[in-house]
Structure 1
């Protein structure tokens, strides 16, 4: 039948020890890879949320409002000191605070004021030049 061979215990213990060490190293490596992937996914989602908030900051037209994107929804409130944006994604919610943004209405009103002021100044200069020419003649 089968021949029975004697195996020394030292060889068996060595093989089991090496297998245990290898499995521990493999487990640590796999856990580290999973942690890196989770960290990457979280950073990617946060970066996308920040990009949506930044895009909303550039498009602010009212004191408060909402904007919808493919990957989430942004609501904002423009206060005196800051612009608070809340980004809702399917997995989580983020809040970003930016410096206060001037509304487009205020910007256009200031531009119109500057344009009218400069045109008034130009008209005054022309009328002054005409008066000086008449005096010199």
Structure 2
């Protein structure tokens, strides 16, 4: 508390802004790392099973409604693709799911999942074909 009592208001605001900036940067880096881990697991699963992304998606879609719920997505990552909790926490998986759910429906369709495998700007050299 002595720091706050002696520091000018502007210095405290600068320190707070820097702390917030660093926290945001770390959060972005963590999300990027988690997305990369999920992407690698998905691609490895496609290659190991010689499946297209569409076929892999079909295996994950347990209720056959054409979309993946958070529960189906989590189960696919944990059970089928062996993504460990040290690679991605439950909160990380939920954040990836939310990012992929571009239309905000609470589920991921095949096109939204393709954005994980083929990030924007990656071109045609994507492993969506098996």
Task: Normalising by structure 2, report the TM-score.
Answer: 0.40
Higher Rg of the two aligned structures: 1
Query: Per residue, is there more strand in 1 or in 2?
Result: 1
Instruction: Tell me which of the two structures has the higher relative contact order, counting C-alpha pairs closer than 8 angstroms and 6 or more residues apart.
Output: 2
